Amino acid sequence: MGKRVSLAWLFGINLFISAFTFGGGYVVVPMIRKYYVEKKGLFDERELMDLAACAQSSPGAVAVNLAAVTGYRVAGRKGMLIGCVGAVIPPLVILTVISFFYAAFSENQIVRAVLRGMEAGVCALVVDVVIDMGRAVFQEKNRLLDILLPAAFVLVFFLQVNVVLVIAGSAAASFAAGWLARRKRNGTAV
């Protein structure tokens, strides 16, 4: 598991990240990078990408799933549980307060303007994550990934191919490439 951290730190950092990153999903990735990768050195950028992919492909909220997999990565099962609890408390409290005062919030123009401004910030964070993760993929010097990424974009964006089919095809191509590379490394015939 590598470096370990205290459960109190893990709880506190997930509580902090969840409380100050609005929009969920990939918006938490820059904060995870800052605290887990850059400040603590608990894992590297590549591992973060793998953990984020795992969190996205699992059912449930990406932010909570990412708190679970990063917690597990640095502190085992207890870390997974503590990470999830820390990530869930802020939205639970915020939604409870908002639901209690819903009528007042929904009609308030200032609150609406603040939320619209936050949407722009969330969009900028997501674009930043996409650029960083895309850059990391292209730095890997993997020809299959160099082909799959733009091909998937063209298929989905321009040709309107179903995303599920593109993901399944990309997964099959990656699995086949990995299987062939492993056989080649082991010296077995294809």
Q: Taking the domains of the chain in order of start, what are their residue ranges?
A: 7-140, 141-190
13 pLDDT more than 90? yes
- Answer for the pair 75, 36: CB distance below 8 angstroms, yes or no: no
User: Using 50, 70 and 90 to split pLDDT, how confident is the model at 2?
Assistant: low
The rounded mean pLDDT for the chain is 87
Residue with tokens 């590297």: 44
Question: Which of the two residues, 115 and 12, has the higher pLDDT score?
Answer: 12
Q: When comparing pLDDT for 12 and 3, which is higher?
A: 12
Q: What's the token pair of residue 57?
A: 């492909």
